[in-house]
Amino acid sequence: TRQQQSDQRLKGKKVLISAGPTREPIDPVRFFTNHSSGKMGYSLAEAAENLGAEVHLVSGPVDVTAPRNVQLYSVETAEEMYKKMTELYDDMDIVIKAAAVADYRPLQTFDQKLKKQAGALQIEMERTKDILQALGERKKQQYLVGFAAETNDIRKYGLGKLEKKNLDAIIINDVSQEGIGFHSNDNEVTIITKHGKEKTIPKLPKKEIAKEILQLIDEEVRKKFN
Ligand code: CTP
Ligand code: CA
């Protein structure tokens, strides 16, 4: 309806969102990545923009186009995403980390294409920085939201991440189920705030999920500052 379209409840707010996978190079032609499509993060960016927010979107390589009026920063590696997110973080009001960041990257990146040899290839991997954890450690006014992609014990692991990363809320995604999550247009999530408020949003298109998530975040932010 016209009334919903003119709902500008996030006017004046700066929102930072990360989306998509990261890509960790092995050599000039190969990389490690994951199945993230970027759709959830891009839907959140669009929903925040529709509510009048100033939106900054830091994205790994994806096939979706950025919504209009959203400031897009394209990155490839976890390290590049870390740099851009920390650079933008300080004057943000709401930060949502929807990206599927690689946890490991090759210890060594080769300048020239690796040639095949007889026998097996071993690639040693090292940890990437945990971007969300770093943001949690230096959190000030930001309302900080993370995602948890889980296949089992989803509540337990989700709550663990909420606490460990000093988040204000966690959005838990069951990625073991067919038809939601990775690659899908639909999703089903449970949001838990650090105050124990909990809401499950049943299976819906990611664009609708995004609206509900932002509505809940907005309510929580208003409580926090009132
Ligand atoms: N995340 C991040 N930087 C990383 C890894 C994860 O910022 N290097 C963020 C993700 O963007 C997400 C949250 O942390 O918002 C949780 O990601 P997830 O992969 O579910 O959890 P991890 O903490 O990486 O733990 P694990 O993969 O072992 O479950
Ligand atoms: Ca991970």
Rg of the chain (C-alpha set):
18
Number of H helices, E strands in the chain: 6, 12
Mean pLDDT of the 34-62 span: 97
With a pLDDT cut of 90, the percent of the chain lying above it is 88
Ligand 1 and 103: CB distance under 6 A: yes
Segment 105-110 long-range contacts (CB within 8 Å, at least 24 positions apart): 105/24, 105/32, 105/77, 105/78, 105/79, 106/24, 106/25, 106/26, 106/32, 109/25, 109/26, 109/27, 110/26, 110/27, 110/28
Return mean pLDDT, the chain. Answer: 94
Separation of CA 35 and ligand 1 centre (Å): 14
DSSP 101: -
Cβ–ligand 1 distance for 99 under 6 Å, the answer yes
173, 37 contact by CB (below 8 A): no
Q: What is the pLDDT of residue 158?
A: 96
Residue 34 falls in the annotated catalytic set: yes
Nearest listed ligand to the Cα of residue 89: 1
pLDDT greater than 60 at residue 59: yes
Report pLDDT for 224. 78
| pLDDT at position 166 over 60 | yes
| CA of 166 relative to ligand 2 center, distance in Å | 16
Any atom of ligand 1 within 6 Å of the Cβ of 149: yes
Task: Output the CATH code of domain 2-109+126-225.
Answer: 3.40.50.10300
Convert the pLDDT of each residue in 71-89 to its tens digit: 999 999 999 999 999 999 9
pTM, entire model:
0.95
Any ligand 1 atom below 6 A from CB of 132: yes
% of the chain residues with pLDDT over 70: 97
For residue 161, which atom of ligand 1 is closest to its CA? Answer: 23
pLDDT digits (tens, 9 = 90+) for 152-165: 999 999 999 999 99
Mean pLDDT of all residues in 23-37: 97
Please state the rounded mean pLDDT for residues 135-148: 98
Please give the ipTM for the structure prediction: 0.99
Model pLDDT for residues 168-205, shown as the tens digit of each residue: 999 999 888 888 778 789 999 999 999 999 999 999 99
Distance 98 CA to ligand 1 centre (A): 9
In this prediction, residue 3 carries a pLDDT of 54
39 is in an annotated binding site: no
Query: From ligand 2's centre to the CA of 130, what distance in Å?
Result: 9
Answer whether 146 contacts ligand 1 (Cβ < 6 A).
yes
pLDDT value at 103 more than 90: yes
Which residues are in the CB-under-5-Å shell of ion ligand 2? 103
Query: Kind of pairing, strands 70-74 and 30-32?
Result: unpaired
Mean pLDDT over 91-116 rounds to 97
> What are residue 137's phi and psi, to 5 degrees?
-65, -30
